[in-house]
Structure 1
Amino acid sequence: MFKSKNLLFLMLLSAFVLILAACGSDEEGSSTTETDNGASSGEATTDAELDFEGTKFISILTGGTQGTYYPLGGTFADLITTDTGVKATAEVSQASAANMTSLANGDAEVAFVQTDIAYYATNGTLMFEGEAIDSVVALGALYPETVQLVTLADSGIKTFADLKGKKVSVGAPGSGTFANAEQLLEIHGLTMDDIQAQNLDFGESTDGIQSGQIDAAFITAGYPTGAVEALNATNGVYIVPVEADKAEELIAKYPYYAVDNIPSGTYGLESDIPAVSVGAMLAVKKDLPEDLVYAMTKAIYDNTDKISHAKGAFIKAESGLDGIGIDVHPGAQRYFDEVK
């Protein structure tokens, strides 16, 4: 009888131990069971792992090193990297028109673009005639890009009419600057045939003015532009004005322009210079994940106080959709809807 009781006790004890082991196994298993999103329920999962569809790196196409896009691009890359965990890098490029083509070809994810060039590209007009781009959309508007006709103060060039027969840099064929130069010449009764057109970038243009190889240059960029500041440090510069009546005529024909003004003190100018501008914007590939574009937009527009460039004062969430003439990425739209 005693032995029977002991045997029964041992059997019950063994069963109890097995039950405890099974419960422990279930609890342990629950800590490693994957949830519907593929992540372990007991592990912390970052937004990048959940929402960015594996995107770890992005390239931001800017422009030449002496323009405005490049330094701003470096700042944006830092903000995006810090806030999203996605490594962003600013890349030197041939600027607006080339940037649209590069985005369409999948060579980068984000790019600086003039608003007028983005419009031409998506509508297949001017330099994009018959080659409309439908795979690129807007992230947001940035700041005015002033069309600056730069020359030396002692060049004798004071008006557009004075350009006749002169060597003038108009930017690369197909570039935003080239289109701006062509349209401003048109409004002033001139064509490319009336000048000795030179296809130079910003740095080459100001070097050419300094050396006397060219007489003037069209430079479309946010002021103060590094290349023009460098020129003014060694030679006094002059910006040829766009008078009010000509600005109105230009805007009537090409509504993506706006009246602008280069204030006295810029480049050592003694008085304000009336000018016109287009907008600078960021464009992105349409197929970028919505949550990534939302996070990038937030990283930039929530941190404009960290932008040291003078144009940072113009970059604001409340004006982030101003002047945008193309579709906006859903991720960016979501951000701007939230901050209204």
Structure 2
Amino acid sequence: MTRFSRRDLLAVMGGAALVPMLGIPQGHAATRYIVIGTGGTGGVFYPYGGGLAQLLSKKLPDTQATAEVTGGSVDNVKLLATGDAEIGFSTVDSAYDGFKGEEVYKDAGPQKIATLAVLYPSVLHVVASKASGIKTVADIKGKRASVGSAGSSTESIADRVLAAGGLDPMKDVTRDNLGVAESVGALKDGKVDVFFWIGGVPTAAVKDLVSTNANDVTFINTGDLAGALAAKYPGVYRPSTLKKGAYDGLEADLPVLGVDNVLLVPEAMDGGLVKEILAAMFDNLAEVAQIHPVAKQLKLETAAAKSAVPHHPAAVEFYKSRGVTAG
């Protein structure tokens, strides 16, 4: 099936004709279209991307930015590389695999992407039904697990964590490829025993699950595997903590695996646009902070932090102009 973004429709059919349908005031039709690849509706990328699209549409002249639901990091990296999106959210591990042309990108080869900003850390959520008896990653052997959408960064992390726990991710578990919202529904309905999800805290779908089912689920410790994974994938994974009270039923800090999230752009993006986007974000941090709780973590210093995927040269120049060294 041919994929058309809203930008494509505007370009093909004529922006002015679609203005009323898209809710853009007549007489103010945008001349520049920015597509932002996000993720599933139950995660953090989607609301964050939607808020960013609103901000850019409001702050950049003659610009209409739209956020698109996607399969997540892998989809977004590929959309950027093929020119079907201008901005994309990704976990840094998937971005790095794409940049190197490894793992799920092996057939496609290296993806020409660059980092715009390091956003916030995600933590690995491994959530099991108490009825399953799962208390450790090793206990997932022989169980039915949702390992994330096919080809997503969640699936990649799930496979690596299962392997680090001594399991064969393809043979020792019955796999379902579900997004986080679908995973939550499947766990509630007893269709899966456990699900994996890499995302910011709080993730809406997980928060919804524990608000009504806190006594029926348990969060699994992955911190004991984080050190080995951080050593095997330097600069990608690190030990992290799911803080007490982050979700209903979480009564103590839980050691987990952590990974940073990055905002990516095509390697060939015009440097002037890169600087415009960053200026719109950092000149309006109070508005960014209202988008989602994790958006409050956006700061110049952390956005410019070293990433496994190099920053766009224009981003490096922007951060330098604000007194921060990128990378």
TM-score by length of 1: 0.80
Alpha-carbon distance change, 160 to 127 in structure 1, aligned in 2, over 3 angstroms:
same
- Residue equivalent to 2:226: 247
Tell me which amino acid in the other structure corresponds to 1:186: A
For 1:81, the equivalent position in structure 2 comes to 57
| Structure 1 residue 207: Cα displacement | 0.2
Q: Which of 198, 207, 220 is the aligned partner of 2:176?
A: 198
Alpha-carbon distance in structure 1 between the residues aligned to 2:88 and 2:116? 9
Letter in 1 for 2:228: E
In structure 2, what is the equivalent of residue 71 of structure 1? 47
Which residue matches 1:166?
Answer: 143
Rounded to whole Å, the distance in 1 between the matches of 2:303 and 2:116 is 8
Q: Residues of 2 paired with 1:304 and 1:218: CA distance?
A: 31
2:213 is matched by which residue type in structure 1? N
Aligned equivalents of 1:152 and 1:267: distance in 2? 15
Instruction: Give the secondary structure class of the aligned counterpart of 1:106.
Output: coil
Matches within 5 A, 1:216-255: 216-236=194-214, 237-244=217-224, 246-255=225-234
Q: Which residue of 1 aligns with 2:267?
A: 286
Asked if 1:316 is matched to 2:295, the reply is no
| Aligned: 1:266 with 2:266 | no
> What per-residue deviation string (whole Å, max 9, x for no partner) do you get for residues 73-132 of structure 1?
111112212221221111111111111111112111111011111111111111111422
In the alignment, the residues of structure 2 paired with residue 130 and residue 213 of structure 1 have an alpha-carbon distance, to the nearest angstrom, of 33
Report if aligned partners of 1:302, 1:317 keep a CA contact under 8 Å in 2.
Answer: no
Q: Which residue matches 1:48?
A: none
- Once the two structures are TM-superposed, the CA of residue 304 in structure 1 deviates from its matched residue by 2.7
User: Gaps spanning 5+ residues in structure 1: where?
Assistant: 1-53
Task: Deviation per CA, 1:41-89: give whole Å up to 9, x if none.
Answer: xxxxxxxxxxxxx961101010001100011111111221222122111
Summarize the Cα distance change of 1:148–1:207 in structure 2 as closer, same or farther, 3 Å threshold: same
Contact 1:115 1:323 in 2 (8 A): no
Gaps of 5+ in 2: 1-29
Contact 2:229 2:238 in 1 (8 A): no
Deviation at 1:322, TM superposition (A): 2.3
1:121 alignment partner AA: G
Pair 1:331-2:319 in alignment: no
Q: Following TM superposition, by how much is the alpha carbon of 1:173 offset from its aligned partner in structure 2, in angstroms?
A: 3.1
The equivalent position to 1:257 in structure 2, one of 237, 248, 254, is 237
2:205 aligned counterpart, secondary structure = helix
Conservation of the 8 A alpha-carbon contact between 1:152 and 1:235? no
Q: 1:323 to 1:217 in 2, by over 3 A?
A: farther
The answer on whether the counterparts of 1:305 and 1:312 sit within 8 Å (CA) in structure 2 is no
In structure 2, the residue matched to 1:116 is 93
TM superposition shift of 1:252: 0.8
- Distance in 1 of aligned mates of 2:96 and 2:159: 17
Q: Which moved more, 1:261-270 or 1:75-84?
A: 75-84
Q: Percent identity?
A: 35
The answer as to 2:278 corresponding to 1:297 is yes
Moved over 4 A (4+): none
2:275/2:318 contact within 8 Å kept = yes
> CA contact under 8 A between 1:241 and 1:275: conserved in structure 2?
yes
Bigger CA radius of gyration? 1
Hey, what's the Cα distance between the residues in 1 that align with 2:145 and 2:111?
Answer: 34
Partners in 2 of 1:207 and 1:95 — Cα distance?
Answer: 19
Of 327-336 and 121-130, deviating more is 327-336
- Give, in angstroms, the shift of residue 327 of structure 1: 2.8
Inter-CA distance 93–185: structure 2 relative to 1 (3 Å threshold): same
Which segment is superposed worse, 248-257 or 328-337?
A: 328-337
